[in-house]
Amino acid sequence: MLLPKVRPLRRSTLASLLVLLVGLVGCGRTNVVSIDGSSTVFLLSAAIAEEFNEVSPDVKVVVSQAGTGGGFKKFAAGEIQICDASRPITEAEAAACKKNGIEFIKLEVAFDGLAVVVNPANDWCDSITTDQLKTIWRAEAAQSVMKWSDVNPDWPDIELELYGPGTDSGTYDYFTEVINGEAKSSRQDYSPSESDNALVQGVAGDKGSLGYFGLGYYAENTDKLKLLSVDSGDGPIIPTAATVRDGTYKPLARPLYLYVRQDALRNEGVVKYLNYYLDKVNDVSPRVGYVPVPDEVMEANRKTLDAAVPRVAVN
């Protein structure tokens, strides 16, 4: 059976089809909101995005987790619209944004405590001091503090296996600054990952392990991990919603942020998602192990967003 000849599309017809596809995207039928950055804030943004995508199927929110530093690199390059951040933007990152003509707003969306965890089989350590954490994690500890007994002679001669965020992580920056005294100053002979789930699996699989990451990942894996209290000089404190909010879990409590490109606020899908985010985040935060922001912070967030939307809309 002979098939009828199919005439190739003329260039003018192809051009018309491309215009139609662009028009469909502009109409919001394939409206994509792009988010990347902190693996800590990922828990919040992904949970809210999942709910939002169900109620607003015309807007697709895609959330990734390259770490805060990795997210800011993409943000400054104009590759993403929103950056999840577990620390404030640095001067260098802000300068990169300015160089590329990218203005932004900052929203403070939750509080987090960093969890210091060990394997559940660890029966010798229930609490750790900030000085002991520095002994373990300072740069000079590489290849010298290798066993638990090197930290405390009362602890056993068991190999100390360390797990922590990679160098692009805002959690890494924050932890090294408040524990070691300088951001990014840390021993490098440990098992790093930008995925907190990978860190959970590492600690859960090794009796001599110790690791740190956002409290939300401990909350999701309480059956696999043992949470340590941290003593900064006023006695051991376990991270909870109350101790994170009131600051007694120090120095490992911190705010979490969204950074939003102002030009992205021309996109109705982005604005719609952010309004939904602010409506839902205080309800979602406790479900993923974080602490809601107080009413005055949420009011400031709304004022910041409301003020930015009309200003870019008229440009």
pLDDT beyond 80 at 14: no
Give me the helices (H) in the chain, please: 11-26, 39-55, 68-76, 91-99, 130-137, 170-175, 196-204, 215-219, 241-245, 268-287, 295-313
**Cα separation, 117 vs 276, whole angstroms:** 33
Mean pLDDT of the chain: 89
**Digit-coded pLDDT (tens) for 260-279:** 999 999 999 999 999 999 99
Single-letter amino acid code for the residue at 284: V
**Digit-coded pLDDT (tens) for 36-70:** 999 899 999 999 999 999 999 999 999 999 999 99
> What would the two tokens of residue 143 be?
């290849």
**Cα separation, 197 vs 249, whole angstroms:** 23
> What would the two tokens of residue 264 be?
């992205």
Confidence of residue 164 (pLDDT cuts 50, 70, 90): very high
- pLDDT value at residue 30: 55
pLDDT beyond 70 at 21: no
- pLDDT value at residue 168: 86
**pTM of the shown model:** 0.77
